[in-house]
């Protein structure tokens, strides 16, 4: 039985019926692509072209095309890798952690957020693969027998842990996302008019019919996947942070890194979810599903994680001072006042100060301000990774090897290019896949109260009048309540 609350804010506004949900979500998939979508896709494809060109240069001429130098060996590519992986985390957080915490508001946004996760991880994976210089030998990172005899990978290395973490994370997120899509593909399949759409969505929906037995198993699978994805998502960024923390570079060798990186990941992930959702809801007319409440809630999560990140920055400083390690102290003073002070203070402004504006209710509920804020946070989180990596490496123990880092045009091309890759994938997803999880949204329609009857065109009292009482539910229990009753 659905629990109906007379006090809770509605999760879906506009008094939608089940059929309305189907109509609203399928409209985009069934309609011919509109001009705005085509224009956006063209821009994304242009940047995808930039990406392909930069990759071609990197592979053809070698990674000398990148602005790496002997000291700052990891600068730009690992910054981007960590940034993209971080962005991916909000999707899993929304789909797994919020599912376990019974946060029903996640239903409207989980699909798009999970898609974002998949695409962000694809973008992230580009960097470690490309930095090998010879990606066709990428299988060497896996524990496979090779032609030299039984030489294996080094399981003591955090970089190898990354291989396992990211591959597990990507494939698990993919099946989680896909399994969730299957029932919605079935809905589109059953509405499809054209023969191509019928066959395509029939293939995609794997013959889903929505039988009660399948739903029961489906729910079990979702819950277990959420249960194992929750520690997984925490482990992935923890391991990414260990790439740094297990080294002895000043500014990296700290135990605060794992929680601090996880918080940062959720922070940047939610910023990206907000950016995308604010656009999606307007373009696809989904204001009733992604409501102001959703935006405010996401804003709050962003603010909380932003505050955690802020505390982490201050803690790092404190520990550097308290440890009395000269190199550690220097690393932090250099971050704030050295040649990269602008990156450090951009990070501080974007990540610590601006999210605090979310305390103000007007900001939380304002679309333009939220949009600007989410972009600022994304920029800030990119700077955070840049600060950690570049400032620690450009001045380490030996003053004779102190250098500055500046990216080459190819570096920039690859970064901007992955944005193109990301948005191309997201736009294709938004056009051909249901952006909102229809089946899940239908389950929460009655969960809350709206101004009108939830279920229109049908008298809910009629059918129940002569029923005996079951499960402690009165026979004439109304299937929905009216707020004004």
Partner 1 sequence: MTKRFALGIFDDEDVLMHAIENVRAAGVKIYEVFTPFPIHGIDDALGIERSRLPIAAFFYGMCGLAFALWMQIYMLGFDWPMIIGGKPHIALPAFIPVSFELTVFFTCHGMVITFYTISKLYPRWRTPVLDVRSTDDKFVMAIEINESTDLNNLSKLLRENGASEVNEKEMTKN
Shortest distance (Å) from residue 391 CB to partner 1: 26
Of residues 236 through 275, those in contact with partner 1 by CB under 8 A are 239, 242
Within 8 A by CB and 6+ apart from 122, the residues are: 170, 421, 422, 425
Q: Residue 160, interface with partner 1 (CB under 8 A)?
A: yes
Helix spans in 5-34 (H): 18-30
CB 433 within 8 A of CB 443: no
Shortest distance (Å) from residue 437 CB to partner 1: 10
Of residues 7 through 26, those in contact with partner 1 by CB under 8 A are 17-19, 22
- By the 10 Å C-beta count (0-12 exposed, 13-18 middle, 19+ buried), 48 is classed as buried
Task: Compare residues 18 and 317 and give the one whose CB is closer to partner 1.
Answer: 18
Of residues 168 through 197, those in contact with partner 1 by CB under 8 A are 168, 171-172, 175-176, 179, 182-183, 186-187, 189-191
Question: Cα torsion for 131, 132, 138, 144, to the nearest 10°?
Answer: -130
* 385-413: b (≥16 Cβ within 10 Å) or e: bbbbbbbbbbbbeeeeeeeebebbebbeb
Q: Residue 231, interface with partner 1 (CB under 8 A)?
A: yes
Among 1, 31, 100, 282, binds partner 1 (CB under 8 A): 1
Shortest distance (Å) from residue 163 CB to partner 1: 9
Binding range to partner 1, per CB under 8 A, among 161-169, 337-345, 362-370, 413-421: 161-169
Of residues 447 through 466, those in contact with partner 1 by CB under 8 A are 455, 458, 460, 463-464, 466
Q: Residue 235, interface with partner 1 (CB under 8 A)?
A: yes
Q: Residue 100, interface with partner 1 (CB under 8 A)?
A: no
Among 206, 333, 360, 403, binds partner 1 (CB under 8 A): 206
Task: Compare residues 399 and 485 and give the one whose CB is closer to partner 1.
Answer: 485
Helix spans in 284-404 (H): 292-323, 326-337, 341-348, 361-364, 367-386, 392-394
Q: Residue 150, interface with partner 1 (CB under 8 A)?
A: yes
Q: Residue 65, interface with partner 1 (CB under 8 A)?
A: no
> If we measure between CA atoms, which residue out of 217, 299, 269, 242 comes closest to residue 92?
269
Q: Residue 360, interface with partner 1 (CB under 8 A)?
A: no
Tokens for 343?
Answer: 């990156």
């Amino acid at each position: 039985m659905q629990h109906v609350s007379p006090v809770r804010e509605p999760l879906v506004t506009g008094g939608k019926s089940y059929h309305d949900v189907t109509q609203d979500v399928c409209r985009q998939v069934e309609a011919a692509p509109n001009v705005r979508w085509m224009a956006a896709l063209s821009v994304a494809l242009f940047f995808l072209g930039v990406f392909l060109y930069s990759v071609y240069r990197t592979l053809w001429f070698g990674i000398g095309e990148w602005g790496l130098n002997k000291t700052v060996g990891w600068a730009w590519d690992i910054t981007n890798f960590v940034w993209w992986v971080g962005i991916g985390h909000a999707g899993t957080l929304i789909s797994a952690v919020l599912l376990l915490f019974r946060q029903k508001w996640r239903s409207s946004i989980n699909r798009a957020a999970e898609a974002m996760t998949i695409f962000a991880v694809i973008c992230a994976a580009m960097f470690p693969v490309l930095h090998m210089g010879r990606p066709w030998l990428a299988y060497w990172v896996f524990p496979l027998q090779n032609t030299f005899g039984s030489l294996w990978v080094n399981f003591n290395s955090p970089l190898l842990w990354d291989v396992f973490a990211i591959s597990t994370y990507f494939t698990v997120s993919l099946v989680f996302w896909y399994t969730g899509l299957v029932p919605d593909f079935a809905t589109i399949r059953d509405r499809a008019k054209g023969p191509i759409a019928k066959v395509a969505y029939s293939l995609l929906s794997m013959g889903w019919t929505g039988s009660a037995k399948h739903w029961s198993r489906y729910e079990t699978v979702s819950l277990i996947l959420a249960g194992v994805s929750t520690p997984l998502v925490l482990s992935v960024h923890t391991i990414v942070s260990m790439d740094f923390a297990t080294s002895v570079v000043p500014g990296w060798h700290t135990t605060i890194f794992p929680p601090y990186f996880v918080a940062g990941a959720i922070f940047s992930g939610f910023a990206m979810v907000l950016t995308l959702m604010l656009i999606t809801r307007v373009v696809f007319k989904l204001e009733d599903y992604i409501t102001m409440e959703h935006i405010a809630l996401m804003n709050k999560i962003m603010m909380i994680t932003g505050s955690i990140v802020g505390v982490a920055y201050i803690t790092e400083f404190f520990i550097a001072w308290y440890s009395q390690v000269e190199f550690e102290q220097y690393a932090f003073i250099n971050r704030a006042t050295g040649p990269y002070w602008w990156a450090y203070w951009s990070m501080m402004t974007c990540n610590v100060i601006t999210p605090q504006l979310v305390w103000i209710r007007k900001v939380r509920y304002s679309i333009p301000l939220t949009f600007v804020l989410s972009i600022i946070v994304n920029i800030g989180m990119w700077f955070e990774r840049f600060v950690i990596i570049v400032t620690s490496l450009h001045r380490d123990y030996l003053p004779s090897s102190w250098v500055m880092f500046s990216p080459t045009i190819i570096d920039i091309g690859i970064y901007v290019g992955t944005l193109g890759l990301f948005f191309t994938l997201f736009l294709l997803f938004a056009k051909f896949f249901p952006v909102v999880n229809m089946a899940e949204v239908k389950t929460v329609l009655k969960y809350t109260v709206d101004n009108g009857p939830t279920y229109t065109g049908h008298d809910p009292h009629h059918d129940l009048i002569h029923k005996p009482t079951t499960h402690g539910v009165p026979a004439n229990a109304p299937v929905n309540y009216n707020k004004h009753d």
